[in-house]
Chains A and B, each alone.
Chain A
Amino acid sequence: MESLKLPKDTMLGAAIVTVTGNREAFIENYKGILEYTTESIVLQGKNAKICFEGSSLSIDYYTNEDMKISGKIDALRYL
């Protein structure tokens, strides 16, 4: 697979998380929302859960593929 140089996200279905500073996060390839409060947002990826912790977190928008989170992000953990 390495030698074919195919994008890993499409092949493995892995989630891509882009964090801008600690104020914004942009998540692609997630499967669903597990928990949503102002302190934590937990998303389901293909193989792992992605957990954002912080304060005054909110979802700006989301579609089936991607999502934008804003607020003060303190930690990003994979469960």
Chain B
Amino acid sequence: MLHWIQYLRGYVVIKVWGYSVERLLNLLGNHDILVWDIEDHGGYHTMHISVDGFFALKPLLKKTGTRAAVMGKYGLPFFVSKMMRRKLFVAGLVCCILFWCLASRFIWDIRIEGNYALTEDVLMDYLEERGVRTTMKKSALDIAALEQDLREDYDLITWTSAQLKGTTLVIHIKENDMPSYEDRADVKEQGMDLVAEKDGVVTYMITRSGVPCVACGDSVKKGDILVSGAVPVYNEDTTVRKYQYVQADADITLRYGQNISLEEAIAYDEKCYTGESMEIPVFGAGEKQISLRLFDIPYGYYDISEEKKQVKLLDHLYLPLYYGKRTVQEYEITPKMHTDEEMKALLQEQWRKIIVTLDEKGVQIVEKNVTMKKNDKKWVLQAHMQLEESAVKLVPTATEPVVSPEAEEEQAQ
């Protein structure tokens, strides 16, 4: 606290020497002149004195036969007068504050949250069309109208909330994740067949809608219709009067055999990093890039990896300037041979990956027969598997409407 008062009022550090410094101190005390931090340096004393006190010092110095010299001036009054001499600096400071005040009246960043189906580009283009863009004035933005227009112009958006956070416009939206009524109606009009995607034997079948064309145990070929989406309506003479079109729906499992062969060579080239590496700084502006490399890369084989960062002002305001580094690592190639254990592990790892992939696709392995063969140069893993999978897909029905006089009559009615 005391320091602050001293700083605000300003003080001078002086050096005093001469016949009787003690007498000067006594006189200063009698004249109520404040001095502090008095130090004896042998030949002279230093002390802190208030600015007013310093101006009243002269007659006392004369009286006591001492002399004084200023060693430093501290405090706000001196700082202000120093600033006054640096007009450009002060002008810069004022301009800076003005710039910030001015800049905070504009929108410098737009963020959209909660969008899944509508991409950010689409929404940004829409905002741009409406004149909502970065660098626009905050006062020119009508948030309520923007929210309403977003809801009205995009059926997919069911809820909007826009808000200004500092100089950032944040738009939260919620999308309707239910499929629209029109989408579902489309499919029903046409009628869909379930066809086989692979050759195989039907092992399981439950039909929910449509006419089953195959039964359990039947062999089917790729493209065969399994469940037809055209349900026939018969005449009394068992001829087809017309078809009612539905979307075929059934649980069908097809069993099929598959052969897999994996190969792995015993000899391989091992990449050994020598530990030698060098880093090259990289700078870029727009499309152009400069790397600060003074000499050629002295390595025979090397990997180059590059890390680049883009200069950005705010979260979304990127400047076309890049900086980063390029790391060059030297390596040597040594031809090596895998041991039997390594070969086995390598092949088993590959085999495991295949099984995991099948599992992820929902394919069930009913039977498998795996053999590993070894010769001079490579190992071969051969597998014969029986797989079960719901390998069916929906296609528009190929059954044409029946052209009969009765059907036409009905349609006319």
Contacts and interface: CB of A to CB of B under 8 A. Distances in A.
A28 B40 CA distance: 22
Interface stretch (B18-26, B60-68, B303-311, B404-412): B18-26
A73 to B, nearest CB: 15
B30 A58 contact: no
A64 B40 contact: no
A62 B29 CA distance: 7
B206 interface: no
B34 interface: yes
Contact of A64 (B30, B36, B37, B38): B30
A18 B22 CA distance: 22
Contacts of B25: 33, 36, 59, 62
Contacts of B29: 32-33, 62-64
B35 interface: yes
Interface string A51-77: 000000111111110000000000000
A35 interface: yes
A22 interface: no
Interface in B1-60: 21-22, 25-26, 29-30, 32, 34-40, 42, 45
A58 B36 contact: no
A16 interface: no
Contacts of B30: 64
A34 interface: yes
Contacts of A58: 37-40
A37 interface: yes
B26 A61 contact: no
Given A36-B45, A37-B40, A38-B40, A61 B22 contact: no
A32 B24 CA distance: 10
Q: Name, among A35, A38, A59, the residue most crowded by chain B CB atoms within 10 Å (CB to CB).
A: A59
